[in-house]
Amino acid sequence: MLFERFYPDTWMDSTYEIDFDELYKKGYRGLIFDIDNTLVPHGAPADERAKQLFAHLKKLGFSCCLLSNNQIERVTMFNTDVQVHFIENAHKPSRKNYLRAMELMHTDLSNTMFVGDQLFTDVYGAKRCGMSNILVKPIHPKEEIQIVLKRYLEKIVLYFYKKQRNS
């Protein structure tokens, strides 16, 4: 089907509901995250929940990288309190910076997971690389107009995704 290239491997309500301990047990060692609406509301700094998540991930032994289409000011503002690798202005869904993120973390496709809230940038980019991925529901409904328009298209794709999963 036309839409399958956009289907996430897993779809969850929130980044904060992912069982990262289980992912580590399964052999994952690298985690790549989108920031806005995946970890915090659009434009927000790292909150307590995000800080605690990254502290836990580091303690488990994960290497992490933020992969954002935002500019450096936005990404460094978030990263100040979590201190992980990051790539700004990533041009997702281009494959280049997904691959670069794995280089930074010293991981590969067999042990890296991507987590993001958008199908056509985050998930599609990960799938283009052959990378495992988790789509999460956006944290906050307030988004830039170009994202709002993409959300309408995402609803169509996710309708068929759910339909296929339930059949």
What's the pLDDT tens digit per position in 118-130? 999 999 999 999 9
pLDDT in tens, 140-164: 876 666 777 787 888 888 889 989 8
Mean pLDDT of the chain: 94
For the chain, what percentages of helix, strand and coil (3-state, to nearest 5) are there? 50, 15, 35
Higher pLDDT, 158 or 116: 116
Kindly list the structural domains of the chain, giving each domain's residue range(s) and its CATH number in brackets, ordered by start. 2-166 (3.40.50.1000)
- Can you give the pLDDT at residue 143? 65
Nearest to 81 by CA among 40, 44, 51, 42: 51
Residue with tokens 């990960």: 126
For residue 15, pLDDT over 80 is answered with yes
- Can you give the pLDDT at residue 96? 98
